[in-house]
Structure 1
Amino acid sequence: MTRRLHAVMIAILAAAMLTVPQAAAATNAFRGVNWADARDNYVDGWVIPTGLTAGDSYDTVRTKADGILTGFQQQLGANTVRLPINPQSVNSDWWARYKGAADSALAHGMKVVFGYWEANKDGFVDDVTAWNTMWDRVTADYGGTSAVYFEPMNEPFGYSLSAWVSLCSTWLSRHSAVPRGRVLISGTGYNDNVTGVGAASALSGTLLSLHFYGFWASDTTRSAWTANLSNRLGAYSSRTVIDEAGAPMTTGLDYSAGHQDGNTFTAYFAATTDLARARQLGVVYWPGLRSGDTYSITRQSGGGLATNNASGVVQLRWGWGL
């Protein structure tokens, strides 16, 4: 074989290797729900998910959580719960009791996502010092637990992309012992686009979180909603968990096949779950349980849960790949 022919063959082989599909990561191991405060999680005080009360002891929180989380598993097939935190909750005696919810989830073999909600509703961390103290404590308690994930801030709409990347980079440096693969970096705005944070080299190795809702547009076709969601994901589907997506579940809408196009919310939810299934995206439904919320996919029933919309549950499970 001549040197020239050898060089040509090497070039051909190299080109062929470049065209071989690379193994893609996926986030569909997150089949989750948000367990939310009835007042919403933007509260200036303790966050107390529906079903818990401020006077509950650790054991009471754990017992109540056992019933609710078992409901999420049995009624929906969930394996992940996203729990709200804030400095008021963590930097107080409520934290020692509230941890019963996370500990119950872990005992049930579930993943836990702790996400920070601010109180001022302006899209900024309320008090950076208190926020750091909160995260120091949460990561000290759960940083060594592989099934626990950390979301530095929910919906950072007050920050520019560069300012948000800078804040997250500082968080990652401060908590460098936490593997980046267990950190969810929120998309910019209302967590509504991950292309900017996905492209930021300072955030490489992290997961990304995206929020997507049907009230953000008035389209009534799955194709329009698919294009909307695809634009928000860009090239970063393999790192992204949709950790808030939901639709009305107490108003009688039918989410089953044949009833999807023609209505904003049924088309939106079908498109979201179809794309999640196709791209193996994790989905954490908003909310799994929140009293007074028409989007709540379950309600309390005795010591456990009942579902609010059977067709909605089927469609969510479809999106989870079940």
Structure 2
Amino acid sequence: MTRLRRHMHAILIAVLAASLLTIPQPAAAATTAFRGVNWADARDNYVDGWVIPTGLTAGDTYDVVRSKADGIISGFQQQLGANTVRLPINPQSVNSDWWARYQGAADSALAHGMKVIFGYWEANKDGLVDDVTAWNTMWDKVTGDYAGNGNVYFEPMNEPFGYSLNSWVSLCSTWLSRHSGIPRGRVLVSGTGYNDNVTGVGAASALTGTLLSLHFYGFWASDTTRSAWTANLSNRLGSYSSRTVIDEAGSPMTTGLDYSAGHQDGNVFTAYFAATTDLARSRQMGVVYWPGLRSGDTYSITRQSGSGLATNNASGVVQLRWGWGL
């Protein structure tokens, strides 16, 4: 190689190196934008009737729901730092006059700059859609009302344990086709079983581009170390952490447990909660705590206080915020 050629070759390498440095590199996918809580019905959300989250009543008008929700949503933000609320729906609620009033809860959250996840709960507790026709009518209505708002997300079904992987993927594929105008990045496909594993739905090409939702609870095992719980959760995630939102995870908050550092290993629930939040933080995964508010539930991280909320366990709040990356 002549001196001139060597010189030109060196210049070319330098130019190429500089150009590579200036090419925008894609950001690592993550779901940390979801720092959320579930706002749940005191009867649980598996009800054959209207779902009515704690603090609301069946006789509330839209304006009353909106006013009550303003206090509760503000409480989630101020007491916890939440930016997402997951709300239950079912055909009984949406295909009735309750829907026009219940929307006050979602509208309040959106007005406060929150994200909203609408998730379907069935009534028969068999892990199957109760009535596909009514389910479709419900989702047509909900998506029709909120598809245009980019802060609203849709979860076709909560805990589809009645379906095999193939039948669940097929049902979700049909849902996606019916609502093809909604970006897939605003759809949360539940993991199989009790939302307890996302490896199957994550690998399904028919569901490419969707988010995935996982549930994870401390009563599912008896381990008392963070390392054991970390392994447990990692196996349920496989290689799909970047698409997954843990949209249910919770631990007793009214029984006096100490979730602070130094008090985590040695107890099932403190070890579980530490492992879950540590892994969520390290993998930049969103967490939607169960429940943010639900009367009579020892896992509820807040309680009603006047028109707002108070927290039930300061160390639990700190650990949750740690998991959120705060």
Q: Which residue of 2 aligns with 1:296?
A: 300
Q: How many correspondences in the alignment?
A: 307
The DSSP-based 3-state class of the residue aligned with 1:305 is strand
d(CA) in 2 for partners of 1:36, 1:309:
19
Q: For 1:158-177, what aligned pairs fall within 5 Å after superposition?
A: 158-177=162-181
* Partner in structure 1 of residue 80 of structure 2: 76
In 2: Cα distance, 1:145 partner to 1:23 partner: 24
How far, CA to CA, are the matches of 2:85 and 2:62 in structure 1? 18
Q: Which residue of 1 aligns with 2:189?
A: 185
Match of 1:132 in 2: 136
Matches within 5 A, 1:95-114: 95-114=99-118
Match of 1:85 among 89, 96, 106: 89
Match of 2:313 in 1: 309
Distance 2:54 2:110 in 1: 19
Between the aligned partners of 1:260 and 1:170, the Cα distance in structure 2 is: 44
CA drift of 1:22 comes to 6.8
**Structure 1 segment 203-222 matched on structure 2, within 5 A:** 203-222=207-226
Q: How does 1:2-151 map to 2 (within 5 A)?
A: 23-151=27-155
TM-score, length-scaled by structure 2: 0.93
Q: For residue 320 of structure 2, what is the amino acid of its counterpart?
A: L
Q: Which residue does 2:275 correspond to in 1?
A: 271
Aligned partners of 1:105 and 1:266: how far apart in 2? Answer: 30
For residue 86 of structure 2, give the secondary structure of its aligned residue in structure 1. strand
Pairwise CA distance, 1:24 = 2.0
- The 2-side partners of 1:303 and 1:152 are apart by 32
Deviations 1:277-313 (A, max 9, x none): 0000000000000000000000000000000000000
Tell me, in whole angstroms, the C-alpha distance in 2 between the residues paired with 1:253 and 1:313. 12
Structure 1 unaligned segments of length 5 or more: list them. Answer: 7-12
Question: Could you tell me the TM-score, scaled by structure 1's length?
Answer: 0.94
Write the letter of the residue equivalent to 1:82: R
Give me the whole-angstrom Cα distance separating, in 1, the residues matched to 2:181 and 2:41. Answer: 30
Matched, 1:319 2:323: yes
* 1:15-69 Cα distance to aligned partner (Å, 9 max, x none): xx9xxx9742000000000000000000000000000000000000000000000
Matches within 5 A, 1:251-262: 251-262=255-266
Cα deviation 1:210-235 (Å, max 9, x = unaligned): 00000000000000000000000000
In structure 1, distance between residues paired with 2:147 and 2:303:
32
Q: What SS does the corresponding residue of 2:212 show, helix, strand or coil?
A: strand
Structure 1 counterpart of 2:107, one-letter code: D
Instruction: Give the aligned CA root-mean-square deviation in angstroms.
Output: 1.5
**AA paired with 1:287?**
P
Q: Distance in 2 between matches of 1:55 and 1:177?
A: 34
**Between Structure 1 and Structure 2, whose CA radius of gyration is higher?**
2
CA distance in 1, matches of 2:190, 2:173: 13
Q: Following TM superposition, by how much is the alpha carbon of 1:256 offset from its aligned partner in structure 2, in angstroms?
A: 0.1
The DSSP-based 3-state class of the residue aligned with 2:85 is strand
Amino acid in structure 2 at the alignment position of 1:230: S
Q: Look up the equivalent residue of 1:31 and give its one-letter code.
A: R
Q: How far, CA to CA, are the matches of 1:181 and 1:94 in structure 2? A: 28
Give 1:135's aligned amino acid. Answer: W
Residue 314 of structure 1: how far off its partner (Å):
0.1
Structure 2 unmatched ranges of 5 or more: 2-8, 10-15
Aligned-residue offset at 1:152: 0.0
State the match for 2:12 in structure 1: none
Query: Residue 9 of structure 1 corresponds to which residue in structure 2?
Result: none
* CA distance in structure 1 between the partners assigned to 2:26 and 2:35 by the alignment: 25
Question: What fraction of aligned residue pairs are identical, expressed as a percent?
Answer: 90
Q: Which amino acid aligns with 2:97?
A: D
Aligned partner of 1:10 in structure 2 is none
Q: Distance in 1 between matches of 2:47 and 2:260?
A: 35
Say whether residues 1:241 and 2:239 are aligned partners.
no
SS state at 1:246 partner: coil
**CA distance, structure 2, for counterparts of residue 44 and residue 302 of structure 1:** 30
Aligned equivalents of 1:235 and 1:133: distance in 2?
35
1-side partners of 2:166 and 2:324: how far apart? 33
- Give, as a single letter, the amino acid of the residue that structure 1 aligns with 2:98: W
